Structure 1
Amino acid sequence: MAELLYRLGKFAARRVWTVIATWIVVLLVAGVGFAIGFKGLATSFDIPGTASSQVTDELAEKLPDFSGAAGTVVFSTEDGSALSADQQAAISAMVADAGDLPDVATVNDPFATERERADRAQQIEDGRAQIDDGRSQLEAGQAQLDAAQADVTAGQAQLDAARTQAEAAGAPEEQLAALDAQQAQLEAGQAQLDAQQAQIDSSTGELETQSATLEQGAELLDLAKGIRLVSEDGSTALVNIGFTEPRLELSPASKKAVVEHFTAEPIDGIEVAFSTEIAQGVPQILGVGEAIGVVIAGVVLLVMLGSIIAAALPLLTAIVGVAIGVLGVLAFSGVVQMASVTPVLGVMLGLAVGIDYSLFIINRHRKQLLQGLDVDESIGLANGTAGNAVVFAGTTVIVALLALNVTGIPFLGLMGTAGAVCVAVAVLIAISLTPALLSMVGERVLGRRARARIVRADAAPASAPAEPTRASRRERSVLRTKPIRPMSTLRSVLTIVVAIAALLVVAIPALSMRVGLPDGGSEPVESASYRAFTITEDAFGAGANSTILVTADLPSGLSDEDVVAQQLEIARSISDLDDVVAVAPIAVSDDGELAAFQVVPADGPNSVSTETLVRSLRELEPAGVDGPLGVAGQAAINIDISEGLTSILPIYLTVVVGLSLLIMIVVFRSLLVPVIATGGFILSLFATYGALVAVFQWGWFADLLGIHATGPILNFLPIILIGILFGLAMDYQLFLASGMREAYVHGSEARLAVAQGFRAGRSVVLAAGLIMIAVFGGFIFSESTIIRSLGFGLAFGILVDAFVVRMLLMPAIMHVLGRSAWWVPKWLDRILPNVDVEGAALERRHALHP
């Protein structure tokens, strides 16, 4: 590999414009591909096969109107007064015209809905009054009937007495016939009374049935009284939009159409805001903060390299690499569904590693020029040595990112793949375009004073028999350098104790980590989503922003009355749970076997109580229901995604740690060095988790970073940090530990080799770490909470891993271990391949070439 890269570097140095033209063509192809293939990005996340997705699939089959995405348009008066009749009419007119918008299935008129609610309540009151009147009439009729029955009973008694007396006296047949006639009249009267009694009983039964039905409706209305679309003070109204497409498939154009429709004709005195499901778009990839981060990286390059030209080259190659990588990835957005954060991750990684990888080669080239090598030979040698390390370092990052596909989570695997593509482009740019640009600028990659030193070093004294060789120049350079001594053992032990203790303390908050997805309250204060979230919470309560959709499987063959009774039973069971503000049945499938309910919790979508409620609902089995309830809605979806990601985290961490051990064993031919490297990575990772929790969940230093709302940690952030930080940590481990091994193999005592290797690699690791922190840190001030937390996690992770773990903890442990750090069983040493990461063999082969 080193020899191949050496030849590639020399080819690029000789064919400068060919290489540059090739990359320009690649950039144009990526741009054309983007123009043709870019079809938008998804602003939502999902994991197939979760409980909520299964409920959504069932809804799509039996209640399709409730299976699509949903969002809310919030209208509120600017002065807090009640909406006037004209304002209400204007809003209703907008609602009436919104049904024809693309992908819109349903739009509710809040005022019509509230009128229907009021009418229903009035109907119940009127019905109760009518039933009371009916009962009174029936009671009066019953009293009259009872009196008539008493008269008939008394007449029967008299007639019976008269017949007994007549028969005892031997009355003639005529007299008995008269008594029979009276008996017939009494029986006819009794029959009439029995008929009237049956009619009264029937009317009473019907009245009680009506009363029971009415009371069921009243109870359902009472259970749903916390669900409102117009606030109690009349100042705010909610327009619910139901879409035909699921949230992951809903196009940005359809969302934009809704926004444009409801803002096209402003209503005087009315503020319009949109929930996150409608207003959230693709976050801005680059902003002021990101630009400042790049500027800081440029300053670090200028300080380290001492030349504007040299400092500009890594920035130029990184920007070209980012453009190619991100445009190329986005060109496939029409083929695969990409999350909105995917290109942002590509930009982050592309800029950071692009600058660093180019810096490694440029720094090596500059040192070789100062040692007297000609430009082309130095470019080839730098590409074969530092470039070889770049390829290896980039490969570790790429493998770690591609390993995200083993999680089985599509959007996460795609993010890792996109990031890996951008890193791969950065590597290819570094080993091809960087050598071409170095050839173009020649010795101007050094400052004037440095170029003057080259001349002085190459100018031999008149009496010198020959020009000094490279080896002799290196020896004189070493003599002028302060002697390197190993650190003291006491200092090493203290460093180990303090560093590990500090990392563990910083990691403590990670024990209380909660994960989720940002809600509207986390959006920028000036955004429509934030306004909609806060206005809704103030006017209707926190739970109005976290409505839960619940489904129940009903037994087949139920009558309409039985369905209503079953709905009431389910609603009662749901209402009895803690933190339920309101519950309302909203639909029943045509076959009568699936019922849907709307549930409003007490708190917001990211609260602990809402999470607990979702779990309680899924465990609930009301009487008469076939199996437990199904739960969907944004809050349930977020919980399912978070649980899925949390469950896969240990598996992915195991894969990465195992990969780390294998790679390090091959590279360093040691067993303990990989353990040190991997253990340090785990410490820095959990310290990063702790810092994330402290800032974004607990709110420490939130004001300083411009974070106005705290909440759970972004649910896919812990996993994505493992992949990225692992790759970058191995980069720093490589540049420091490989120098230590090289010194040890060439005869230095183990503890001295640690100091020598650290001295050789510390400047490049220091610069690389500062550059990455600057680039990632620029994204902390993004308007998107997702990007902000990702930038903070990466910046803090690099800060801890590069400066605490790699530059303090790792050398201290290596010193304490001494020679045992490089121990490896002989049988393993024989079968391990010889991986010359730094290209030492190549350097030896070309050492005599000036």
Structure 2
Amino acid sequence: MATYLYRIGKWAFANRFKVIGIWLLILVGMGVAASTLAGPTSSSFSIPGIPSEKAQDALVEKFPEKPKFSEDISIKYVIKAPAGSNLTQPRYQEAIDQMVTSMKAFDGVKSPDTIINPFVPEAFGTPNAPGEVTQAAIDFQRDTFGKSEQDARTDAAAGSPINPDATVAQLGASYNVTEADKVTAKAHEQQTAVADAARQAGLTVEMSGTALPQPAIGATSELIGVGVAIVVLIITFGSFIAWGMPILTALIGLGIGLLAVTAASGFFTLSAETPILATMIGLAVGIDYALFIVSRYRHELLTAKSRADAAGRAVGTAGSAVVFAGLTVIIALSALSIVNIPFLTAMGLAAAVTVLVAVLVALTLLPAVLGLFGGKAFGASISFLNAPDSPKSASATTPRISNGTRFVKQIVARPAIALVLAIVVLGVIAAPMVGLKLALPNDGTGDPSTTQRKAYDLVAEGFGAGQNGPLVVVLDGTNVADADRNSTYNDVVGKIKDLPDVKNALITAADINKAGDTAVVSVLPNSGPSSSETQQLVKDLRSAEGGITDQYKVTYGVTGQTAIESDVSDRLSQSLVPYLAIVVGLAFILLMLVFRSILVPLTAALGFLLSIVATFGATVAIFQNGDLGLMSNPQPIVSFLPIFLIGIVFGLAMDYQVFLVTRMREEYVHGASARDAIVKGFSHSARVVAAAAAIMISVFAAFMLQDNSLIKSMGFALAAAVFFDAFVIRMIVIPAALAVLGDKAWWLPKWLDRILPNVDVEGEKLGEYLAEKDKRDERDREAVSV
């Protein structure tokens, strides 16, 4: 491989204008594709085949007029009267009437005639004077199910948008669109204007729903990450020019990758977070891969015959490491598709595309840019920042000993102590992981300052916490005689009411289909959607189905947004171990090809597990437990963060393993002792790997400034994982473990050595190729002179 990459790098250097032109055409082409093919993004999380999805499909089949929970693009206003008052007072009724009038005029509103003040006699009326809708609900419960007047009134009140004290009420409107980003800017302005007008009348008004504008994901994070990367690159290269090449090529690669993802949104459903996650990964690896090759190019300039030859050698050696490092990231991200979770698959594949582009850019566009700069690539140098392999340092009378060399010598001198100490520290940090709680983001986990969270709290205050997450039970009564169905449905509702944490359960007139063979039970828990009690209620409902079916011949499914989120979280948790096994297994094989060893890949995998549990521990401590006071709103960890984090971090961890340990193996293969190989390899690579890690940490950590809780926690977790893995595992644990193992670290059974192909990451075959090439050139020169 190194030989082929050498030829590619040298050709790209020599044909710089052609290569740069091709990549610019690709960038423009992707821009055109993105502008013409882009489709809407989705904010819903669902998994085909989970029980709640099956129940929802049955609901839609029997009640075609009912939209899926994720497809109802709507807004809900939660209105509260001032303390000591209620909403029935004339001045507040006037304000609510004005709200209703304005809502009917919303741009793109669906069925405006159905939007009505719930207090008027034609609607729900008041708790003391039931309106027509409330009276019809009372009559339905009494006449259909034979309930007493009191029980009928209780059930009717449970379905009212007005709380018993008439201090809190809800108003809603739906839009004629199926995607949230299709709601117009005019509609968003109208939504806010309605709330503001009611607030001026003295009411407390908050909003929730899928039709609200989503928090904008600004470019500040990317700019901060790039800014820190520039500083790190200047320090690494000691040049005011060289830093620009990794940044330039990384931004071009990221642009192409993101435009490709945007174009793909016209064919596939992508979540709203997909582009930002692809940005985080694509930007970080794009800069890092270019950094490794440019650094190797500077080293090769000391011995190469020409700059083109140095570029070829850099791409042949560091480029080989880039290919395998990129492959591990791509494998880890693409393997997310194996767990069959569509939105997670889309995120993984989108990020994998940006990584693939970053690899191709580093191997082709970067050497072309090096050729464009020529002898000025490392110009405007800063003398006191010169690295050990810079031309000035290499020509110095007394070789400079780098801090990395001093550090690794200390590790190698006392490897057992360093190994045990690092493991103990990571173990202590990982301890909070035992309390890990997972949940999907909802209004209840949002920041307390947002109107969505305030609306959630108002509903819980006025109606009870369970009103924010009712469950839906779809009853199938096809096996019950027509004459017995209503009484059977009522008996089943009674069984459901007897379950723990059930506040109420009822069937309304609109919840029995025309054929009468299907009924929908709205189950109101006592607890909120994310509480353990509500999650247990979902399990209790499903566990009770067998007994209910035996007794009443009714089967059912449990759905609703809360049940869907619970099922998604469960599926994600169940997929974690299989996914980890697949990723680690594939990467282990790949690393055996790179290092020609069994124990080196094994230590790499075990080191990754240490860094990942430490990351989980730190994330739980900060975001879930609220330790150190860094989070004002501690909440359960987002359900898909662990599996996505494993995919990303494993790939990045193997990046550092490949870049750091390949130089150690290169020294060992060329005759150095096991310990000397560790010191020499570390000395060559530590500075660059540390710079790469610092860049990744800065890029990821900058995303903590975003308002989106998922992005914020993902940014922290990725930054923490890179820190633990790069600076603790790869720079302490791995050198210490290799020092303890000695020559055994590089052992590979002879039979396995014969089976595994030699991919020549160290460039040994490339060296032989270049040596033979030099001999041929010398013979040709002699022949010409003769």
TM-score, with length taken from structure 2: 0.87
Q: CA deviation at 1:77?
A: 5.3
Distance 1:85 1:119 in 2: 15
Distance 1:27 1:474 in 2: 39
What secondary structure sits across from 1:277 in the alignment?
coil
Distance 1:844 1:599 in 2: 74
Q: CA deviation at 1:350?
A: 0.8
In structure 1, what is the equivalent of residue 563 of structure 2? 636
What secondary structure sits across from 1:431 in the alignment?
helix
Distance 1:365 1:409 in 2: 42
Q: How does 1:247-258 map to 2 (within 5 A)?
A: 250-254=179-183
Which AA in structure 2 matches 1:76?
I
Distance 1:293 1:278 in 2: 32
Q: CA deviation at 1:284?
A: 3.6
Q: How does 1:368-383 map to 2 (within 5 A)?
A: 368-370=300-302, 374-383=306-315
Which AA in structure 2 matches 1:601?
P
Structure 1 residue 411 and structure 2 residue 343: aligned? Answer: yes
The structure-2 alpha-carbon separation of the partners of 1:86 and 1:725, relative to structure 1 and needing over 3 Å to count, comes to same
Q: CA deviation at 1:86?
A: 0.7
Distance 2:642 2:720 in 1: 13
CA contact (8 A) 1:346 1:422 kept: yes
Q: CA deviation at 1:576?
A: 2.0
The structure-2 alpha-carbon separation of the partners of 1:127 and 1:843, relative to structure 1 and needing over 3 Å to count, comes to closer
CA contact (8 A) 2:238 2:383 kept: no
Q: Which of the residues 500, 506, 518 maps onto 1:578?
A: 500
Q: How does 1:42-53 map to 2 (within 5 A)?
A: 42-53=42-53
Distance 1:529 1:512 in 2: 27
Which AA in structure 1 matches 2:235?
V
Q: Which of the residues 463, 466, 472 maps onto 1:543?
A: 466
Structure 1 residue 74 and structure 2 residue 77: aligned? Answer: yes
Distance 2:424 2:132 in 1: 69
Identity of aligned residues (%): 37
Structure 1 residue 782 and structure 2 residue 711: aligned? Answer: no
Distance 1:126 1:794 in 2: 55
Distance 2:385 2:273 in 1: 48
CA contact (8 A) 1:43 1:280 kept: no
Q: Name the stretch that deviates more: 265-274 or 722-731.
A: 265-274
Distance 2:721 2:694 in 1: 12
Distance 1:105 1:413 in 2: 41
Distance 1:542 1:73 in 2: 16
Distance 2:210 2:385 in 1: 63
1:732-787 deviations in Å (ceiling 9; x for gaps)? 11112112212222222212222222222111110111110110111122111111
Q: Which of the residues 69, 73, 90 maps onto 2:98?
A: 90
CA contact (8 A) 2:675 2:739 kept: yes
Q: Name the stretch that deviates more: 433-442 or 68-77.
A: 68-77
1:398-425 deviations in Å (ceiling 9; x for gaps)? 1221111111122212211111110011
What secondary structure sits across from 1:630 in the alignment?
strand
What secondary structure sits across from 1:65 in the alignment?
coil
Q: How does 1:277-676 map to 2 (within 5 A)?
A: 277-279=210-212, 281=214, 284-370=216-302, 374-448=306-380, 481=401, 486-487=409-410, 491-554=414-477, 562-586=484-508, 587-621=511-545, 622=548, 625-676=552-603
CA contact (8 A) 2:480 2:554 kept: no
1:250-271 deviations in Å (ceiling 9; x for gaps)? 4521487864554455444356
Q: CA deviation at 1:347?
A: 0.3
Q: CA deviation at 1:122?
A: 11
The structure-2 alpha-carbon separation of the partners of 1:548 and 1:729, relative to structure 1 and needing over 3 Å to count, comes to same
In structure 2, what is the equivalent of residue 816 of structure 1? 740
In structure 1, what is the equivalent of residue 119 of structure 2? 111
Q: CA deviation at 1:717?
A: 1.4
Q: CA deviation at 1:22?
A: 1.7
What secondary structure sits across from 2:660 in the alignment?
helix
Distance 1:443 1:728 in 2: 32
Q: CA deviation at 1:488?
A: 6.8
In structure 2, what is the equivalent of residue 201 of structure 1? none
Which AA in structure 1 matches 2:51?
A
Unaligned runs of 5+ in 1: 129-208, 459-469
The structure-2 alpha-carbon separation of the partners of 1:527 and 1:121, relative to structure 1 and needing over 3 Å to count, comes to closer
In structure 1, what is the equivalent of residue 30 of structure 2? 30
CA contact (8 A) 1:127 1:214 kept: no
The structure-2 alpha-carbon separation of the partners of 1:100 and 1:64, relative to structure 1 and needing over 3 Å to count, comes to farther
Q: Which of the residues 616, 624, 646 maps onto 1:689?
A: 616
What secondary structure sits across from 1:578 in the alignment?
coil
Unaligned runs of 5+ in 2: 779-786
CA contact (8 A) 2:97 2:117 kept: no
CA contact (8 A) 2:258 2:354 kept: yes
Distance 2:193 2:371 in 1: 57
Distance 1:786 1:452 in 2: 42
What secondary structure sits across from 1:279 in the alignment?
coil
Q: CA deviation at 1:5?
A: 2.4
1:348-394 deviations in Å (ceiling 9; x for gaps)? 11100000011111111222335575433322222222122212211
Which AA in structure 2 matches 1:640?
D
In structure 2, what is the equivalent of residue 144 of structure 1? none
Distance 1:127 1:826 in 2: 80
In structure 1, what is the equivalent of residue 55 of structure 2? 55
Q: CA deviation at 1:310?
A: 1.2
CA contact (8 A) 2:665 2:762 kept: no
Distance 2:605 2:592 in 1: 11
What secondary structure sits across from 2:42 in the alignment?
coil
1:605-627 deviations in Å (ceiling 9; x for gaps)? 11111111111122224486434
1:519-577 deviations in Å (ceiling 9; x for gaps)? 113334454323322332333332221122122223556567x5543343233222222
Q: CA deviation at 1:82?
A: 3.5
Which AA in structure 1 matches 2:454?
R
1:489-548 deviations in Å (ceiling 9; x for gaps)? 772111111111222222222222222211113334454323322332333332221122
Which AA in structure 2 matches 1:93?
T
Which AA in structure 2 matches 1:52?
S
What secondary structure sits across from 1:809 in the alignment?
helix
Structure 1 or 2, whichever has the larger Rg, is 1
Q: Name the stretch that deviates more: 418-427 or 514-523.
A: 514-523
What secondary structure sits across from 2:515 in the alignment?
coil
Distance 1:689 1:504 in 2: 11
Q: CA deviation at 1:686?
A: 1.6
Structure 1 residue 274 and structure 2 residue 207: aligned? Answer: yes
Distance 1:812 1:601 in 2: 55
Which AA in structure 2 matches 1:277?
T
Q: How does 1:174-193 map to 2 (within 5 A)?
A: none
Which AA in structure 2 matches 1:675?
L
CA contact (8 A) 2:412 2:675 kept: no
CA contact (8 A) 1:227 1:582 kept: no
CA contact (8 A) 1:301 1:767 kept: yes
Which AA in structure 1 matches 2:495?
S
Q: Name the stretch that deviates more: 513-522 or 775-784.
A: 513-522
Equivalences, count? 748
What secondary structure sits across from 1:637 in the alignment?
helix
Distance 1:349 1:488 in 2: 31
Which AA in structure 1 matches 2:562?
A
What secondary structure sits across from 2:685 in the alignment?
helix
1:663-700 deviations in Å (ceiling 9; x for gaps)? 12111111111111111111111221222222222122
CA contact (8 A) 1:684 1:805 kept: yes
TM-score, with length taken from structure 1: 0.81
Q: Name the stretch that deviates more: 659-668 or 487-496.
A: 487-496
1:156-202 deviations in Å (ceiling 9; x for gaps)? xxxxxxxxxxxxxxxxxxxxxxxxxxxxxxxxxxxxxxxxxxxxxxx
